[in-house]
Chains A and B, each alone.
Chain A
């Protein structure tokens, strides 16, 4: 069965720095990979999707890369702010969804002022 790992359970960085979160997956060849943000007591909220034929995707201060050879995605938040503090989840997926729509354990990001 597929396995998804995210680099660390928690990550602390200083305001203004770039946060880099890692998502690695095995036993799966997803057509795309999604990133979600989850705040305490709330459901996850979709942020970005990157397809297998895309190397990089940007949205405002967010950047995602996708390396299908390494089976890895990197999620960057530039010029981080305390409001970016949340848990970030990755989800490799394909258009069939099905039982393969599963999530990584998440990385809890804290941006310190």
Chain B
């Protein structure tokens, strides 16, 4: 089955750039899925960051769009997040996630069904 593994620095400086990579195993990043990033600040809820479709098209959270880039490397079967101009508010656990959809009752229903274990990022 598909597994996802995040990697990247645990500590980054304010105003710096966060670079995280998600390695996909047991499946192909070229499959018809959305390869997604979600984060969770300490003690708080989940925030969708953005995703990249297998075609290469990206969708970003409006609140992060100006600082965010998500890209994919099909040769390495991985995708990456780059978040610029970091502040303490970006401190969180970052999850890479597979988004999928299913046709049901005439509609295409999107969901996030495979999650990495998460990586903790502290901005300080």
Q: Do A and B come from one complex?
A: no
